[in-house]
Amino acid sequence: MGLFGRFIVGITKRMPRFLVGGVARRYVAGKDLQSAVKVMKKLSSEGACFTVDVLGEEISNLEEAQFFIDEYDRVLAAIVEHNLDANLSIKPTAFGLLIDTAKAYENIERLLRNAAKNDIFVRLDMEDFRVTTPTIDIVIRMHEKGLTNVGTVLQSRLFRTSDDIKDVCEKISGFADFRICKGVYLESEDIAETEYMGIVNALNSHIDLIIENGGYAAIASHDLPVINHALTALNRNAMGPYLPDPRKNSPPDRIGKGPGYEFQMLLGVRGNIRRKLAKEGHRTRVYVPYGERWYEYSMRRLDENPDVAMHVVKSLFMPWTNRR
């Protein structure tokens, strides 16, 4: 599948931009906030909630961070105005993490405080290995300041992830909140799993570990082996739809969250499975990216993980398997 994926990536890069845009419309809400709001309103009828991501990440100077600061302020206002069940996803590097750590902390803290005024959660997306520790450190620091409306993403392909789960859960107790996923960044085999089943097995073990340690498990996967494992693990721990979180090491109520867990999926991917989970009563969240940088986002995702191209092929030739 890897060779085929790289073949599709090569073809896609040679396609005219407008043709790429035709495919990207499935996975990106649009170029502006208005488009994202429209998508969320439509999918709300299917029982979905959302996490909104303004496209763009690592910046070259701090002035560029101002765009993200201002745009996320607009996203917060839109969520409140339209009464959307949504939170935020941000890239720490877009706020200056690799340029000026202190300034990045200041920018992110400002956003968290604004979001907290309306009980809106903020997820720190996990980028490549250079910023794994700095991103986790931000979460710990913000919780020490009393800002508990923040969590991070952890990538199961990294060997360090089990230790990161235990460490974060120990430091911020039951307020640890993770989006756990395979991870799109193709890291070196020295620090990460590189084969499909190794990554899936790691992800399944990390779901168990988060549940055992009282963390909130945002299970971000489209893989049936992972979803089925998660359902079994939840049942084993007496967790599930319409049930209170029974774990003594987890807080009883998290605003805008499920009973200790939720399922997350990318916009445009495996909508049939998401709708089935929602119908069964599980909280399901859709990742909604938007922005002018949709092309760069699409190309970078394909570069980092050519296997993502398989979803492109399926959407073109077997659209019934991959409805929004």
Q: 306 near 6, Cβ under 8 Å?
A: yes
Axis-axis angle for helices 62-81, 33-44 (nearest 10)? 40
- The active-site residue, picked from 26, 53, 123, 125, is 125
Q: 89 near 75, Cβ under 8 Å?
A: no
Q: 54 near 81, Cβ under 8 Å?
A: no
- 73's enclosing H/E stretch is helix 62-81
Angle, vertex CA 122, rays to CA 117 and CA 127, nearest 5: 155
Residue 128 known to be catalytic: no
Residue 223 known to be catalytic: no
User: What does the alpha-carbon distance between residue 274 and residue 41 come to, in Å, rounded to a whole number?
Assistant: 16
- The active-site residue, picked from 26, 123, 157, 179, is 179
- 48-75 exposure pattern, b = at least 16 Cβ within 10 A, e = fewer: bbbbbbbbbbbbeeeeebeebbebbeeb
243 vs 40, 84, 138, 255, CA distance in Å? Answer: 26, 24, 32, 16
Which residues does the annotation mark as catalytic? 125, 179
